[in-house]
Amino acid sequence: MRSRLTIGRLAEAAGVGVETIRFYQRRGLLPEPARPLSGYREYTDNDRRRLRFIRRAQTLGFTLEDISVLLKLDGPHTCSTTHDLALEKLHVVSEKIQALVAIRDALEQMVQQCERSHPHGACPMIHALEQEEARGEVKSAGGA
């Protein structure tokens, strides 16, 4: 017997909010069931599994557009398409890690300079930031 869930119970079972479910429905990632005469839409375990799939894919860094493609995959070329998407995501993550390591290293240097004594009360961290900004080399972590 298939279990029937209200949107609230589906949200709880999948570990998401009701508004998240509605958002996924608007984006076409999750079908919206028809409204029966009782007025309450009923969701199934398949909907719960689909929601968990979406959340796990997001955790791995896949965008909603990527997830839409993954949800449509079926057939003999599924594995190669999935492989290509995952490989692309792996490259993006590797680049972000390199950028974050560079940011960490720069911050460590600034903290070390700040911990040393410095003349005239000038803050070496502020000075370093001003120099970087003047050269146009300050990059945000979001742009990494």
Tell me the C-alpha to C-alpha distance, in Å, between residue 64 and each of 30, 57, 144: 12, 9, 20
Which residue matches tokens 């996924």? 24
* Per-residue confidence (pLDDT) for residue 11, from 0 to 100: 95
Nearest to 47 by CA among 65, 31, 70: 31
Q: How many CB atoms lie within 10 A of CB 14?
A: 22
Q: How many CB atoms lie within 10 A of CB 21?
A: 22
Chain segment 58-74, per-residue pLDDT in tens: 999 999 999 999 999 87
Q: How many CB atoms lie within 10 A of CB 99?
A: 15
* Per-residue confidence (pLDDT) for residue 88, from 0 to 100: 93
Q: Which two tokens stand for residue 96?
A: 């972000």
Distance, in Å, from the CA atom of 21 to the CA atom of 3, rounded to the nearest integer, reads 18
Alpha-carbon Rg for the chain, nearest whole angstrom, is: 24
Domain 7-61 sits in CATH at: 1.10.1660.10
* Per-residue confidence (pLDDT) for residue 1, from 0 to 100: 42
Domain locations along the chain: 7-61, 97-143
* Per-residue confidence (pLDDT) for residue 39, from 0 to 100: 79
* Per-residue confidence (pLDDT) for residue 64, from 0 to 100: 95
Low-confidence ranges of the chain (pLDDT < 50): 1, 138, 141-142, 144
Stated pTM of the model: 0.71
Contact between 144 and 101 under an 8 Å Cβ cutoff? The reply is no
Helices (H) and strands (E) in the chain, counts: 6, 0
* Per-residue confidence (pLDDT) for residue 55, from 0 to 100: 95
Could you tell me which residues come within 8 angstroms of residue 13 by beta carbon, excluding any fewer than 6 positions away?
5, 48
Q: What does DSSP assign to residue 43? A: B
